[in-house]
Amino acid sequence: MIEHAWIIPTILIASFWLILFFGKRLPNKGHEIGIPAVLTTFVMSCVVLFQWVTGDHSSAEPVRASTTWFEIGDVQIRLGVSINGMVAILLFVVTLVSSLVHIFSTQYVKGDRRYTQYFAALSLFTAGMLLMVMADSILLLLFGWETMGLCSFMLIGHWFEEQANSNAALKAFLTTRTGDIGLLVGFSTLFFAAGKTFDIGTINSLAASGLIEHWLLLFAASWMLLAVVGKSAQVPLHIWLPDAMAGPTPVSALIHAATMVVAGIFLVARIFPVFFYGFDIGAGGINPIALIGTITLLVGAAMAFVQQDLKKVLAYSTISQLGYMVAALGVGAWTAALFHLFTHAFFKACLFLGAGSVSEGVHHTFDMRKMGGLRKYMPTTHITFLLATLALAGIAPLSGFWSKDEILNGAYAGGYDFVLILGSVGAFMTATYMGRAYFKTFWGDYKGHGTPHESPKVITVPLVILAFLAVFSGFLNAPGIEKFSEWTEMEVPLVNAAGEPLVSHGETHSTEEGTTTQEHGSTEEHALFDGAAGSAGSAGVTLANLSTSAGASLNADGANGTATSVADSASDVTVRTVSFNNLAAGPELAAEDAEGHDGYFIPPHHKFNTTLAILTSIPALLGIALAIWIWYLGTAPKGVLSRNRFLAWVVHVVDEKFYFDWLAQNLVVKPIKGPIARGCYWFNQHVIDTIVNGIGVFFGRWMAAAASFFDRNVIDGAVNGSAAAVGASGEALRKAQDGHIQRYALFLFASVGLIGLAVLVLS
Amino acid sequence: MNGFEDWALTLLVFLPLVGAAVVVAIPRSEEGLIKIAALGFSVATLAVAIGVIADFDFDKGGDIQMEVNKTWISVINANYHLGIDGISLPLLVLSAIIIPLCIIYSWNHFPAPHNPKAFLALMLILETGMIGTFAALDLVLFFVFFEVVLLPMFFMIGVWGGPDREYASIKFFLFTMFGSALMLISFLAVYFLSDPHTFNMLELQQSGALDISRATANLVFAGMFMGFAIKVPMFPFHTWLPDAHTQAPTQGSVILAAVLLKLGTYGFVRIAIPILPGAAHDWAPWIGLLAVIGIIYGALNCLAQTDMKRLIAFSSVAHMGFVMLGIATLTDIGINAAIFGMVAHGLITGMLFFIAGSVKERYHTLEMKRLGGLILQAPRLGWLLGFTCMASLGLPGLAGFWGEFPAILAAYSPAAGLSTEVFRSFMVVAAIGTVLAAAYLLWMLQRVGMGHIPDEWKDHRIADVQTSEWLAWVPLLVMIVVLGVVPAILMGTTDDAVQGIVKVIAAAGK
């Protein structure tokens, strides 16, 4: 199966077309195609994951299958897929969540007038995500990326009769598309930087080996970061995500848990060497990825506090959690980011679908002021929602605890203290706002109309499955198990200037020594190949030298190094990279493991730190306690926020969404649509056209005068004769001739010709 | 098939003209017969075009094939010289496809003042002009065909157009004439400056055939630039286009967008650049600059429109900007992208004009304020509009993408000797243009396709897509998808020929 994994997205694309063409005529309006298709891909994905895990694949070459797409000159553009551990895991997650969303939707959008289109779009959406995940080139990745953009447009705007919904769809598409400018520019840069190829493997290897100049990596990474900010809803382009709640709720679960919004995270993770060396991640201190992620995690969490709409709370929570993932990548905690993506997919999908179930139960509203006390009426929804809430809050031992802890641990080990501190603050806020939402929805008295009811099995069964995973999926990377790290391990083989790997797989250490000594010369060559190659270049060189004696001493250094010493030696790229390898293996394993890693770029992943885990759990527990105090016990002092002028101002700013929407609307959208566009059109109609018409009139007069010198009959005869031959209606033609247009044209032609000729001769 | 190769192109060029003559010969009262004759001849032309595809040796796309070279006007050494390579073939086939589709579309809805006989005859004459331009290898012959296109389109707009048709048609005519005149001067200059004097494009491309100073070459290029840039149209010579499109009947708009604009871009690729590669080098940054200005400027103008058809017309300015940017890079990727962009724009914008025409026919207005809820009222037409908008904004997987992204890509690394800084700035500006493209297209889709049905139309029965419309559109839709997924169909055809041009440019750069 794993060799033929390309079938997986193909099935869903076929399903899209089949539903589109035949769905309306089928008794179930299309879901009888969509659901089997997505379930098939789920089973296939399980097989792929199983094969990867059991086969000889962990920490090995990706499984690739590709064919020539087209050629330009000697540049071959290939179309293909590449499966490694990260991809296999994501296939599993995406198809699982998508399957559950499909099933859930049969109830949730039942009887909708565009039921068929809805299921077609779900199929294509999932296909887009899978295509992006499996792509072996950034070009195909772009295909998946944009396909998701299209489908999110269709799904967010599903109920487009209301302008608010179609506005939300447009906002989502255009905001993410603004980010995509970065993708176009960044990918173009990478294409040429990697020697005219879109191949991700090649790009990674070259970037990791220091064979791409540092400024190019920085340039590409900066532009692509824009795309990440757009797609993964980071500040300041996060503004589309809350509005995207206009779509049907299962769609929100799909878009905001397992697909689309994590595309940005995936992009960074997939071509991590480009970002790692482009932004000098690992040098500690501040880099734009870590900074944006951290700001986003706080801003999102803050806004989640002031929402009255349950789905909006989850939307802002998604922004905040995406901030964690981005920050994790920014501090170099690659595995942690991916792991959080993994666990988040389950608990956030569970929460969104839970919110959908609640809305079904309380007769279609998401307003928490009209809820309350639902635990009595909706026991299954309640329990699953509670478990997912606790997982999101990061309460041990639920899944969110493990992944969030890994991120904070990564920030600590990487020397990014501000991420650690602010991330902990974020954890406190997360626990509090989720506690607020939970208590407002499920405790107290019911304030809506009618009697709430539990949802049918089609809805609750997916909830139970997701809640189960929300609880237990974290153990996959718990200390002592660490299967997730093992399966996803990213190994980018370093190459020399000729593109040959420094170490080929399966070679023993002794032979490596011989080859690397040989490579020594050539690596120095490419260090020289441009002065600007800079730090990235030297990192590649020293890694290549690792198996020599110099490497041994560096190993020792790294093994003894604590996290602080890593940060201290930030200026020395060599030591930094090496010690990451050692940290990954743990001090006791370092000597042995570093050998195995020679010649590879491996993103760091950090040992579980018990002290830190306990310390970072405190904010989450405090947050829960605060939520209980305020929204469960109700004994907290009331009115503090409105009485204190500063706090009231803060609440106001948060309420106004930090004015991001206002700024985007008034500084970008309105000016462009209004004065700038209208000004351009005015310029077009009044300046350019006045000049054009002026020239026309000038020539017209001149020609009219000239024409009178000529024998009317000759010219008219000739022109009218040709017109008649055309056989057009004489009456209408005469009208169109208006002022002997042909004759004018002839003179225009002649005069322009003469002037032109004169110019040419005189020159 | 040796015999076929000798007369295939001649047949392809003149069969429509024969058709026009036949149509003219049929009495006006025999309307059914006229339609059948017109369709028959255009389909026969398409059949010949398919024969040409079948006979074309795609492994030698860089070579001129099916060449015919006969003495024509011996005094000035102008020959009847036809031939095609991988660059002309797709455009030639596009022309042969568009005309029968337009005739099918016309079947039941001829624009006022009706008169199918004249309308169809003009369309067939247009086809001769277009195919002839793409097949000509002699500058005089090229010029003649280039001008043949002008008159029928002038009459189409001037007779069958909207309320402001006179102004629009005269503007179109004079603008193009103005450019043609300068272009002709340049052709003559090339003739007299070459040694031996020749109008043969192939000979002129040989290095040494045209041994002139860079300054003179730049001046000669200027003339060609005016001729072609007006046709494309490039900013600031574009103002004839929105007027022509807005006033032209649907079929006229479709042909204009699908094929006529490509005569200009084709002229750059086939004539101006290979014959004057040195001058092309000097001009490239300026062409690139006008191209990206066109991208942004066209898009901003789109955002200010209230009329659907005028919006689509301005979008052509923006889209052709991408094509010209690709050409201006003077690289293989860029020029391939440009040709892909020409075909894609032809299919997609042609489709958009078709839809606009059908909307106009149903609602009698294209004022977007008065429209809305098309997807509710005529679901298929509405979704087709959505699909075509997505294709037009360059969504990967549909044809438009391959004209847009590779052009941006190519701007990162233009031909040797061109400033990378300048072209990378163009790249970023063009990338911003893609956002604006999405903005105006989706905005149009929202206004026209989404929302509630306006009260004005609540009680009207609006017919969904009809048979003649399906017949005319399905080929375009299929090609948009197929080319989007399998770009090799086109890239593989054009690449060899493009490599030839790039070699000429590289040789001149030394």
Give the residue ranges of DSSP H helices in A59-162.
85-108, 115-134, 138-156
- Please list, residue by residue across A466-490, b when 16 or more beta carbons sit within 10 angstroms of its beta carbon and e when fewer do: bbebbbebbebbbeeeeebbebbbb
SS3 B359: helix
Mean pLDDT of A255-280: 91
Judge: B301–A684 Cβ closer than 8 Å, yes or no. yes
Quote the CA–CA distance of A709 and B121 in Å, as a whole number: 35
- State which residue of chain A sits closest to B497, comparing Cα positions: A73
Cα A231 to Cα A1, A172, A194, A363, B393, distances in angstroms: 31, 9, 25, 32, 18
Quote the CA–CA distance of B393 and A666 in Å, as a whole number: 25
SS3 A75: strand
Judge: A147–B397 Cβ closer than 8 Å, yes or no. yes
- State which residue of chain A sits closest to B410, comparing Cα positions: A188
**Digit-coded pLDDT (tens) for A212-239:** 999 999 999 999 999 999 999 998 999 9
Mean pLDDT of A31-37: 93
Q: What is the DSSP string of A16-73?
A: HHHHHHHGGGSTTTTHHHHHHHHHHHHHHHHHHHHHHHHTTTTTSPPEEEEEEEEEET
How large is the ipTM?
0.93
> What Rg value do the Cα atoms of chain B yield, rounded?
22
Judge: A70–B488 Cβ closer than 8 Å, yes or no. yes
Which of A310-324, A382-396, A502-516, B364-378 is the least confident region? A502-516
Quote the CA–CA distance of B387 and B352 in Å, as a whole number: 10
Chain A nearest-CA distance from B52, in A, is: 23
Give the distance from CA A488 to its chain's centroid. Answer: 19
Question: In this complex, how many residue pairs, one in chain A and one in chain B, have their CB atoms less than 8 Å apart?
Answer: 207
Interface test with B, best of A155, A212, A760 (most B CBs within 10 A): A760
Band of pLDDT at residue A543, cut at 50, 70 and 90: very low
Judge: A753–B181 Cβ closer than 8 Å, yes or no. yes
Partner-chain residue, chosen from B181, B435, B487, that has the shortest CB–CB distance to A70: B487
Taking residue B484's Cβ as centre, other Cβ atoms within 10 Å add up to 19
The answer to whether residue A741 scores a pLDDT higher than 70 is no
Which of A257-261, A506-510, B265-269, B404-408 is the least confident region? A506-510
Judge: B185–A150 Cβ closer than 8 Å, yes or no. no
Judge: A749–B239 Cβ closer than 8 Å, yes or no. no
pLDDT score at A697: 78
Residues of chain B with pLDDT > 90, as a percent, come to: 71
Chain B residues with CB under 8 Å of A146 CB are: 395-397
Q: List the beta bridge partners of residue A76.
A: A71
pLDDT score at B348: 96
Quote the CA–CA distance of A221 and A232 in Å, as a whole number: 15
Task: Determine the angle formed by the axes of helices A573-585 and A549-560, rounding to 10 degrees.
Answer: 70
Cα A385 to Cα A312, B14, B508, distances in angstroms: 16, 74, 70
Tell me what the pLDDT averaged over chain B comes to: 92
- Find out whether A431 and A623 touch, Cβ atoms under 8 Å: yes
Interface test with B, best of A143, A160, A189 (most B CBs within 10 A): A160
pLDDT score at A713: 45
Chain B nearest-CA distance from A469, in A, is: 35
Instruction: Please calculate the CA angle B429-B435-B436 and round it to the nearest 5 degrees.
Output: 85
* DSSP label at residue A212: S
A161 and chain B: CB distance < 8 Å anywhere? yes
Q: Which of A 104-143 lie inside 8 A of B, CB atoms? A: 142-143
Chain B nearest-CA distance from A387, in A, is: 40
The dihedral of CA A228, A234, A236, A240: what is its sign?
A: positive
Chain A residues with CB under 8 Å of B505 CB are: none
- Find out whether A132 and A145 touch, Cβ atoms under 8 Å: yes
Chain B residues with CB under 8 Å of A744 CB are: 174
Cα A122 to Cα A68, A233, B433, B484, distances in angstroms: 29, 21, 29, 21
Quote the CA–CA distance of B172 and B238 in Å, as a whole number: 10
Give the end-to-end CA distance of chain A in Å, rounded to a whole number. Answer: 72
Residues of chain A with pLDDT > 90, as a percent, come to: 49
Cα B186 to Cα A754, B190, B285, distances in angstroms: 12, 6, 21
Q: List the beta bridge partners of residue A492.
A: A601
Chain B residues with CB under 8 Å of A167 CB are: 446
Cα dihedral A152, A156, A157, A158, rounded to 10, equals 100
What's the one-letter identity of residue A123? Answer: S
Quote the CA–CA distance of A513 and B252 in Å, as a whole number: 72
A687 and chain B: CB distance < 8 Å anywhere? no
Judge: A166–B451 Cβ closer than 8 Å, yes or no. yes
- State which residue of chain A sits closest to B116, comparing Cα positions: A728
**Digit-coded pLDDT (tens) for A616-675:** 899 999 999 999 998 888 887 777 777 888 888 888 888 888 899 899 889 998 899 889
Chain B nearest-CA distance from A169, in A, is: 10
The answer to whether residue A58 scores a pLDDT higher than 60 is no
Taking residue A390's Cβ as centre, other Cβ atoms within 10 Å add up to 24
Which of A171-180, A585-594, B39-48, B102-111 is the least confident region? A585-594
Judge: B118–A726 Cβ closer than 8 Å, yes or no. yes
Cα A28 to Cα A32, A36, A120, A126, B136, distances in angstroms: 6, 13, 13, 20, 57
- State which residue of chain A sits closest to B397, comparing Cα positions: A143
Quote the CA–CA distance of A102 and A84 in Å, as a whole number: 26
Which burial class, exposed, middle or buried, applies to B67 when counting CB atoms under 10 A from its CB (0-12, 13-18, 19+)? middle
Mean pLDDT of B363-378: 91
**Digit-coded pLDDT (tens) for A285-331:** 788 999 999 999 999 999 998 999 999 999 999 999 999 999 999 99
Give the residue ranges of DSSP H helices in B194-307.
201-205, 214-231, 240-247, 250-255, 261-267, 273-275, 277-303
Q: Of the candidates A403, A383, A407, which has an alpha carbon nearest to the alpha carbon of residue A392?
A: A403
- Find out whether A303 and A654 touch, Cβ atoms under 8 Å: yes
How many alpha carbons fall within 13 Å on the CB side of residue B83? 22
Give the distance from CA A240 to its chain's centroid. Answer: 13
pLDDT score at B187: 92
Tokens of A308: 């009255």
Which residues, other chains included, contact A269 with Cβ-Cβ below 8 Å and sequence gap of 6+?
A86, A329, A334, A337, A338, A490
Chain A nearest-CA distance from B171, in A, is: 8
Judge: A173–B442 Cβ closer than 8 Å, yes or no. yes
A697 and chain B: CB distance < 8 Å anywhere? no
Band of pLDDT at residue B92, cut at 50, 70 and 90: very high
The answer to whether residue A716 scores a pLDDT higher than 60 is no
Chain B nearest-CA distance from A671, in A, is: 11
Q: Of the candidates B490, B482, B493, which has an alpha carbon nearest to the alpha carbon of residue B398?
A: B482
Interface test with B, best of A79, A680, A720, A740 (most B CBs within 10 A): A680
Quote the CA–CA distance of B232 and A718 in Å, as a whole number: 30
Partner-chain residue, chosen from B219, B300, B375, that has the shortest CB–CB distance to A677: B300
Quote the CA–CA distance of B427 and B423 in Å, as a whole number: 6
Q: Of the candidates B415, B424, B411, B395, which has an alpha carbon nearest to the alpha carbon of residue B498?
A: B415
pLDDT score at A749: 64
Judge: B412–A191 Cβ closer than 8 Å, yes or no. yes
Q: What is the DSSP string of B63-129?
A: S-EEEEEEEEEGGGTEEEEEEE-TTHHHHHHHHHHHHHHHHHHHTT-PPTT--HHHHHHHHHHHHHH
Taking residue A648's Cβ as centre, other Cβ atoms within 10 Å add up to 13
Chain A residues with CB under 8 Å of B332 CB are: 72-73
The answer to whether residue A431 scores a pLDDT higher than 50 is yes
Judge: B408–A184 Cβ closer than 8 Å, yes or no. yes
* DSSP label at residue A370: G
Tokens of B4: 């076929």
Chain A residues with CB under 8 Å of B452 CB are: 161
Judge: B413–A680 Cβ closer than 8 Å, yes or no. no
Mean pLDDT of A518-544: 35
The answer to whether residue A750 scores a pLDDT higher than 80 is no
The answer to whether residue A3 scores a pLDDT higher than 80 is yes
A478 and chain B: CB distance < 8 Å anywhere? no
Partner-chain residue, chosen from A150, A680, A733, that has the shortest CB–CB distance to B300: A680
Chain A nearest-CA distance from B104, in A, is: 20
The answer to whether residue A759 scores a pLDDT higher than 70 is no
Band of pLDDT at residue B165, cut at 50, 70 and 90: confident
Chain B residues with CB under 8 Å of A125 CB are: none
Judge: A178–B166 Cβ closer than 8 Å, yes or no. no
Instruction: Please calculate the CA angle A228-A229-A233 and round it to the nearest 5 degrees.
Output: 110
Chain A residues with CB under 8 Å of B446 CB are: 160, 166-167, 170
The answer to whether residue B240 scores a pLDDT higher than 80 is yes
Judge: B297–A681 Cβ closer than 8 Å, yes or no. no
